[in-house]
Structure 1
Amino acid sequence: MDVNQETVANPFGMDEDCRQCPALCDTRTQIVHGYGDVSAEFLVLGDAPGPGADRTGVPFTGDADGRAVLDLLADLGFVESPERDEPTVDNVFLTSLTRCRHPERPPTDDEVRNCEDFLTAEVRMINPEIILPIGQRALSALAYEYTTKPPAELDVEDAHATTIRGRGFELVPATSPDEWTDERRAALFEHLRSLLDRDYRQTKGRRSR
């Protein structure tokens, strides 16, 4: 798989006409692959493209829930112009478990399985230090694949704004943005900032996009 960091949109050149999920082919506007810095140490994982991402082709853009995530990342210094359909990002990669949106329901288990290869390839190619799973579905998927904990033992409500050790990286779970109170957002921001201050030094001289 070739890496093209001249573009932040689908930099790994993944299939943009995938038809593994027939039920989604007629409901999606486009396939939404990952977006960001291929050498990022932070990866943000949602469960599926939101209505905005389905329109823009960029995860977490174009709607209120995604904007809440991007605004948090902007406050941490990873995103500039979070209001844009193609924000400037540095040292972060945005992606999701599934790549197509159904407007009336969440992804099925089969649809998540059909997209596993896309996510596995992104994680392996990027090799992030920290993954932020947004919501229970994303946390459970990562727990099954990348931690020693059974997914049933991890509740995103309890794990919000904490650190869970994974295989080769750390997970910092977050509840879905539509469930963020001021206190939850502040807790997540402070926890991530403490990781930046204590355990992690941002790589200087990265090429922003």
Structure 2
Amino acid sequence: MKNVTERTRNPFGLRPPFDRTRPDERTAVFGYGDANADFHLIGNYPGVHGGRESGVPFTETEAGERVQSIVREVGFAAGSWSEPTVENLFCSYRHMCCLPPGETPDESTYDDLERYFDAELRAINAHILLPVGERATDHVLRSYTTQRDRLELDMATLHGQEIRGRGFMVVPIRDPTVWEDTEADAIVSRLEAILGRDYRQTKGVATRVG
């Protein structure tokens, strides 16, 4: 059994390459959870999925808390909603840096943060990647599978599907703000099914952080 680190917040001490926030605001929302996890939940950026106040991904916003409710139901999280106790799940964002209110990331800032996201993902070395929303799903499918060119990026269709990757299995999650009545249940059922079998993937050697 791997033992990467017992640190819950920003376990590898990442430092963002830029800071566009005011001195009294949070610079970034770093990865959070069980660094030895088999499941890695991947969101977009703090302005969408939350954490600007708590520093914890998938908190504070409607979208973030809807996702958190799913992982709670499966048994990955418990306790406080702003700083949950997490087991077998690591949570992070494709774009960790906070931006001034009303601003959204552009392609150059996603590119600036790519090496940080990739290094952390490979250091966690989870078996199941759970990208939330179109942008995170597109990136994960392009970077960690050979399937992107064969798949239409239709999140309603991809939601809850199992897609084999290069040493990972990817289960996309549609943006929770547009979930229909059965879509939350579909993810819960999929995760429970995965947990009920041997889900381990053939892994390569993780890259070093730093």
* TM tier, smaller: 0.7 to 0.9
Would you say 1:153 and 2:152 are equivalent positions?
yes
Q: Which amino acid aligns with 1:47?
A: N
Instruction: After superposing the two structures, state which structure 1 stretch, 35-44 or 146-155, moved more.
Output: 146-155
Q: Secondary structure at the match of 1:31?
A: coil
Q: Secondary structure at the match of 1:39?
A: coil
Instruction: After superposing the two structures, state which structure 1 stretch, 153-162 or 165-174, moved more.
Output: 153-162
Instruction: After superposing the two structures, state which structure 1 stretch, 25-34 or 60-69, moved more.
Output: 25-34
Q: Secondary structure at the match of 1:55?
A: coil
Match of 1:118 among 95, 116, 119: 116
Q: Which amino acid aligns with 2:12?
A: F
For residues 119 and 199 of structure 2, the distance between their equivalents in structure 1, rounded to whole angstroms, comes to 24
**2:8 paired residue number:** 8
**1:192 paired residue number:** 191
Would you say 1:97 and 2:105 are equivalent positions?
no
Matches within 5 A, 1:39-58: 39-50=36-47, 52-58=50-56
**1:109 paired residue number:** 107
Using the size of structure 2 for normalisation, the TM-score is 0.84
Q: Secondary structure at the match of 1:57?
A: coil
CA contact (8 A) 1:50 1:60 kept: no
**1:71 paired residue number:** 69
Q: Secondary structure at the match of 1:53?
A: coil
CA contact (8 A) 2:47 2:104 kept: no
CA displacement 1:13-38 (0-9 Å, x = unmatched): 111xx343x6x344963211100111
In the alignment of these two chains, the number of paired residues is 193
Q: Which amino acid aligns with 1:120?
A: D
Would you say 1:134 and 2:123 are equivalent positions?
no
For residues 140 and 184 of structure 1, the distance between their equivalents in structure 2, rounded to whole angstroms, comes to 19
Shift, 1:200, TM fit: 3.7
CA displacement 1:38-58 (0-9 Å, x = unmatched): 110000000111374011111
Any gaps of 5 or more consecutive residues in structure 2?
201-210
Q: Which amino acid aligns with 1:49?
A: P
Q: Secondary structure at the match of 1:112?
A: helix
For residues 118 and 89 of structure 1, the distance between their equivalents in structure 2, rounded to whole angstroms, comes to 22
CA contact (8 A) 1:67 1:82 kept: no
Q: Secondary structure at the match of 2:196?
A: helix
Using the size of structure 1 for normalisation, the TM-score is 0.84
For residues 120 and 19 of structure 1, the distance between their equivalents in structure 2, rounded to whole angstroms, comes to 14
Any gaps of 5 or more consecutive residues in structure 1?
202-209
For residues 192 and 17 of structure 2, the distance between their equivalents in structure 1, rounded to whole angstroms, comes to 40
Q: Secondary structure at the match of 1:141?
A: helix
For residues 11 and 29 of structure 1, the distance between their equivalents in structure 2, rounded to whole angstroms, comes to 17
**1:177 paired residue number:** 176
For residues 50 and 86 of structure 1, the distance between their equivalents in structure 2, rounded to whole angstroms, comes to 18
Q: Secondary structure at the match of 1:50?
A: helix
